[in-house]
Amino acid sequence: MTYKHTFHRHKTREVQVGNLVIGGDNPIIVQSMTTPDTHNLEATVAEIHRLEEAGCELVRVTVPKPQDAAVLGEIKRRIKLPLICDIHFDYKMALAALDHPVDKIRINPGNIGGMDRFRQVLKKAKDKGIPMRIGVNAGSLEREFAMKYGFPCPPAMVDSALRYIEIAESEGYHDMIVSLKSSDVLTVVEAYRLYAKQADYPTHIGVTEAGKAPYAVTKSACGLAPILLDGIGDTIRISLLGDPVPEIAAAFDILQATQRRVRKPELIACPTCGRLEIDLEDIIAKLEHRLAGKTTAIKISVLGCVVNGPGEAREADLGIAAGKGKGVIFKRGEIVRNVLEKDMVEALMEEIAKWEREEAEKGTLKHGAPSIQAAAREDEPHGNSAEQDDAGRIRLPMLN
């Protein structure tokens, strides 16, 4: 008998943004936003270059003034990422920005002064072939929807988004991405779930105004994990106070933890407790260093005691279960070798290299996506597996 996790991605349309495609079955794209005044060209470009180095895939700049719009072409020329311009309040700035080589425009239709102005922006975006993010925010929801529902609740936010979608479609415009952001985690989760039942335009997801790390990262993870696990979300931003570069690692970590986009090996390690019988912190630090830059989607478990270690090691692609300065290495649930603590890092790196070669020979080695359903293990005993006692606990012969 084999068990597999069930996952169904919210089926959305595809929207081209520069050289990327958002939605459909495409990877969830990580983006961020710059912090300097956009017309401060050197500072803006320098920050974008730092974001590029961190792995950012889309970048947004704010355009509140004519001098900001004036430098968009030069910014675009000097960066590698697709460029998004962010508009609030002044629809004329949206029209001005669209005269420059941007890849996408973000507006909140509720704060640019009415439907006529929204239609003007739509028509120009359509003429220029530029996609748009319709950004509905609980903090700036139109008065009519707030009054209808009593407060900026998820149904009010979704109603607002659907109305703007209908208006855009009436103009023959379909290159839209939708966001429904709030600083309240429950509102975020409920709004996106409700939207996904009623529309198929791709979604930009995030918890807005999350605050300062580390709490802001935790808050973002709490808000985004439920909808990612529901299959919702096509591009993501983690909103952190201060330097935007840490947003990128936070976003990719959340995507990795929810298995929506796995781009590197995953290391599993037990907490430090009284049962620990090896220097696990040192081993993990050395493994992290040796694995830096590797993109193989492999799950590696290193457990330092005999209580949970064997079971966890069996469920990983490769794992060590250790105790009293020695341990055993599991591969695909079976014991492949015994190893002393001093040799664990080198031995595990050797086994990782073997695992990669074997997967490559089978044509199943993948980078950036899970290559094996680690939880889809057969229930039947493995030929070389550790023994189980009457209570179902796994026993390692060399550790008894």
Last residue of a domain, one of 207, 229, 257: 257
Which one, of 192, 256, 300, lies nearest residue 55 by Cα?
256
pLDDT-derived band at 378, boundaries 50, 70, 90: very low
In a domain, 290, yes or no: yes
Last residue of a domain, one of 257, 277, 300: 257
Q: 205 pLDDT exceeds 60?
A: yes
pLDDT at 374: 32
DSSP letters spanning 118-157 = HHHHHHHHHHHT--EEEEEEGGG--HHHHHHHSSS-HHHH
Residue numbers of the domain that contains 87: 14-257
CA distance 254 to 112: 33
User: Tell me: the pLDDT tens digits for 243-254?
Assistant: 999 999 999 999
Is 225:259 a contact under the CB 8 Å cutoff?
no
Q: 314 pLDDT exceeds 80?
A: no
Task: Tell me: do 334 and 274 sit in the same domain.
Answer: yes
pLDDT-derived band at 392, boundaries 50, 70, 90: very low
Task: Tell me: do 226 and 158 sit in the same domain.
Answer: yes
CA atoms within 13 A on the CB side of 263: 15
When the pLDDT of each residue in the chain is averaged and rounded to a whole number, the result is 85
Task: Tell me: do 211 and 355 sit in the same domain.
Answer: no
In a domain, 3, yes or no: no
Last residue of a domain, one of 206, 234, 257: 257
In a domain, 285, yes or no: yes
User: Tell me: the pLDDT tens digits for 29-78?
Assistant: 999 999 999 999 999 999 999 999 999 999 999 999 999 999 999 999 99
Task: Tell me: do 32 and 55 sit in the same domain.
Answer: yes
> For a pLDDT cut of 90, what percent of the chain falls above it?
56
> Between 213 and 377, where is the model more confident?
213
pLDDT-derived band at 394, boundaries 50, 70, 90: very low
pLDDT at 387: 44
Q: Is 38 helix (H, G, I), strand (E, B) or coil?
A: coil
> Between 375 and 152, where is the model more confident?
152
Task: Tell me: do 282 and 210 sit in the same domain.
Answer: no
In a domain, 5, yes or no: no
In a domain, 107, yes or no: yes
Q: 309 pLDDT exceeds 80?
A: no
**Rounded alpha-carbon distances, angstroms, from residue 285 to 194, 300, 342:** 43, 14, 14
In a domain, 7, yes or no: no
pLDDT at 274: 62
**How many domains is the chain partitioned into structurally?**
2
In a domain, 81, yes or no: yes
Task: Tell me: do 289 and 367 sit in the same domain.
Answer: yes
Alpha helix stretches (DSSP H) within 230-376: 245-257, 280-291, 309-315, 344-362
Q: At which residue do the structure tokens 């985004």 appear?
A: 224
Task: Tell me: do 236 and 339 sit in the same domain.
Answer: no
- Beta strands 326-331 and 334-340 are antiparallel
In a domain, 6, yes or no: no
CA atoms within 13 A on the CB side of 212: 1
pLDDT at 307: 58
Task: Tell me: do 181 and 272 sit in the same domain.
Answer: no
Task: Tell me: do 178 and 279 sit in the same domain.
Answer: no
Q: 370 pLDDT exceeds 50?
A: no
Q: 282 pLDDT exceeds 60?
A: yes
Alpha helix stretches (DSSP H) within 206-257: 215-229, 245-257
Task: Tell me: do 219 and 340 sit in the same domain.
Answer: no
Is 192:205 a contact under the CB 8 Å cutoff?
yes
> Between 398 and 340, where is the model more confident?
340
Q: 382 pLDDT exceeds 60?
A: no
**CATH classification at residue 194:** 3.20.20.20
> For a pLDDT cut of 70, what percent of the chain falls above it?
87
User: Tell me: the pLDDT tens digits for 110-137?
Assistant: 788 788 899 999 999 999 999 999 998 8
Please, what is the end-to-end C-alpha distance for the chain in angstroms?
Answer: 30
Task: Tell me: do 273 and 226 sit in the same domain.
Answer: no
Task: Tell me: do 139 and 47 sit in the same domain.
Answer: yes
Q: Is 19 helix (H, G, I), strand (E, B) or coil?
A: coil
Mean pLDDT over 162-166 rounds to: 94
User: Tell me: the pLDDT tens digits for 329-356?
Assistant: 888 888 888 989 899 899 999 989 998 8
**CATH classification at residue 336:** 3.30.413.10
